[in-house]
Structure 1
Amino acid sequence: MRRTLRQLAAVKPSRFLEPGAPTGLTGLYTHAAPRSTLLYLYSSTLDKLKEIPESSLYRQSTEALTKHRMSIISAVEPEGYKEWSEKAKQVIAEHPEVFNTPEGGVDHDMGRHLKILRDGKVFVRSKVEQEADDTTEEWDGEENLGPELEGTRSTEERKGQSILGMKRPGEDEKTIVWEEEPPLTADQISDLETKIGAGLIEEVIQVAEGELKLVDTMVRAKVWEDLEEKPVEGQWTYFMRDTGTPVTQPPPQK
């Protein structure tokens, strides 16, 4: 039903879904890279679950579900994925100063690209700089002194301007060409949604994001440890109907 809503929301059905297009669900729009996003979220969840003891039922159930869904996502590859993967590995190998992550999975930022280790896997995240909109930004309290004065400046005001012409644009920056992972077709995404059985792929992403946040909460709370205050006897006993005792009806009144 929800996949039908997505199709009805699309004005021009095509082989690929248009990122940002309506899905048919209010406030939920078509994700640009669902496959790589889910693999990153699932790998991050599995990585954080290692902080919880293996005896924990929460870890066991979450790992089982996460690995199951991750195997479904990994089995579906977009067209040209192998060629893209080989090229991506070559770019990372040729530019270690840009993609440089110390052992242990510490994120390292060099410009627009981040190389991240999660559960033994390598991910590259690109940082997209958003243009600032003065009409929507909140006032920071700085006093508006009006436009800058025109004309010549004093020696003190011109201090430090001499070095501006010494640097060329991009001279101290390392730029590379990074291609994003090829997209899945609409049919591939529909097949994934059918196999997972949890709604649209965008809804699956929302659930994965929530699970990743929940792991942090569980780790901080140390839910696997015993309670400081032991529960009293019968505290966790729910009210249940005793089906073993026959129920007798009183005789009708005359």
Structure 2
Amino acid sequence: MFRATRILLAAAPQASKAAPSSLRTKLSTGITGIAVHPEPLSALVDSYKSTLSVLDMIPASAVYRQSAEAITRERLAAVERLGGDGDEASIEQVEQAIGAGIVEELLMQATDELKLAAKMIEFKSWEELEEAPAPGQWEPFRVTPSTTTADDLHPN
């Protein structure tokens, strides 16, 4: 029993020396279940570039491709512009520029978007429907401009 403990204690300092150097000083994200990523900005760049390459397989006229590509390019540009050395200050600048959570959340969003883009290719959502929709099927969802004014809400 003690022999194994001595071996583990002897290996512990070596393991910490062998760990890759990281510029991250943050110990916790403050969100249960989300660990601090050691190199989040490089992982974000990789994920964004992968997403853009997958989106290239979707026709340019597809609305999903247009919107996902615009968001991904905007976020990639922010990471490349502000990423710097990948230290905490650079990471905070990227988080503020994108404005969609901490960098670990951004990485989760980027990973999810990459998975969704692959699913959209599988589903071929840009193609026409196999069957025409029933007459009036989409009427409840039609957006119409409102004609109500503030004066209509408060009669004299």
Counterpart-to-counterpart distance in 2, 1:239 and 1:203: 32
Aligned structure 1 segments of 4 or more residues deviating by more than 6 angstroms: 239-244
Are positions 1:71 and 2:67 aligned together?
no
The C-alpha deviation readout for 1:57-84, integer Å capped at 9, x for no partner, is 00000110000000000113434xxxxx
Which secondary structure state, in structure 2, belongs to the residue aligned with residue 31 of structure 1? coil
Aligned residues: 125
Which of 206, 210, 218 is the aligned partner of 2:108? 206
**Paired position in structure 2 for 1:17:** 24
**Aligned equivalents of 2:115, 2:95: Cα separation in 1:** 23
1:197 corresponding residue in structure 2: 99
| Mapping of residues 26-175 of structure 1, within 5 Å | 26-79=32-85
RMSD: 2.3
The one-character-per-residue Cα deviations of 1:126-149 (angstroms, maximum 9, x if unpaired) are: xxxxxxxxxxxxxxxxxxxxxxxx
Deviation string 1:98-117 (CA, Å, 9 cap, x unpaired) is xxxxxxxxxxxxxxxxxxxx
Q: Which residue of 2 aligns with 1:88?
A: none
TM-score (norm: length of structure 2): 0.73
Q: Give the conservation status (yes or no) of the 8 Å contact 1:18–1:30.
A: no
CA distance in 2 between partners of 1:201 and 1:27 (Å): 14
Provide TM-score, normalisation by structure 1.
Answer: 0.46
1:228 aligns with 2:130: yes
Of Structure 1 and Structure 2, the greater helix share is in 2
Alpha-carbon offset, residue 193 of structure 1: 0.6
Unpaired runs of at least 5, structure 2: 1-22, 148-156
C-alpha separation in 2, matches of 1:233 and 1:207: 37
Cα 1:39/1:242, change in 2 over 3 Å: closer
Equivalents in 2 of 1:208, 1:226: separation in Å? 28
Bigger-Rg structure (1/2):
1
Q: Which runs of 5+ in 1 are unaligned?
A: 1-15, 80-183, 245-254
Q: Aligned residues: percent identity? A: 40
Give yes or no for contact 2:51–2:117 (8 Å, CA) kept in 1.
yes
Q: Provide the C-alpha distance between the structure 1 equivalents of 2:37 and 2:131, rounded to a whole number of angstroms.
A: 46
